[in-house]
Amino acid sequence: MIKLSQFGNSVRDKDLKKFKQSDNWDGDKFINQSKTTMDINLSTIPKLLKQNFTNRKERRPEKPIAVNTFDFETFHSSEQDPKFIWYGHSVLMVNINGIKLLIDPMFGSDAAPISPFGSKRFSNDTLLIIDSLPDFDAILITHDHYDHLDLDSISKLKSKCSTWMVALGVSRHLESWGIPSSQITEFDWWDKIIFKEIELTFTPSRHFSGRGLFDRAKSLWGGWVIKSQNHSIYWSGDGGYDDHFEEIGAEMGPFDIGFMECGQYNKHWHQIHMYPEEAVKAAMVSKSKLAVPVHWGAFALALHSWKDPVKRFTKEAALKGLPFYIPSPGEVFNTEINKPQNNWWKEIE
Read off the amino acid at residue 330: G
Distance CA 302, CA 51 (A): 10
So what's the pLDDT on residue 51?
59
Question: Does the structure show a pLDDT above 90 at 53?
Answer: no
List all residues 6 or more positions away from 59 whose beta carbon is below 8 Å from its beta carbon: 300, 303, 304, 305, 306
Segment 315-321 long-range contacts (CB within 8 Å, at least 24 positions apart): 316/276, 316/277, 316/280, 317/280, 317/283, 317/291, 320/280, 320/281, 320/284
Burial of 321 (0-12, 13-18, 19+ CB in 10 A): exposed
How does pLDDT run across 313-335, given as a tens digit for each residue? 999 999 999 999 999 999 999 99
Q: Give which of 274, 310, 278, 311 is closest to 292, Cα–Cα.
A: 310
pLDDT grade, residue 269 (50/70/90)? very high
Question: How high does pLDDT run on average in the chain?
Answer: 94
Question: Does the structure show a pLDDT above 80 at 49?
Answer: no
- Phi and psi at 4, nearest 5°, equal -60, -30
> Which domains occur in the chain, in start order?
13-336 (3.60.15.10)
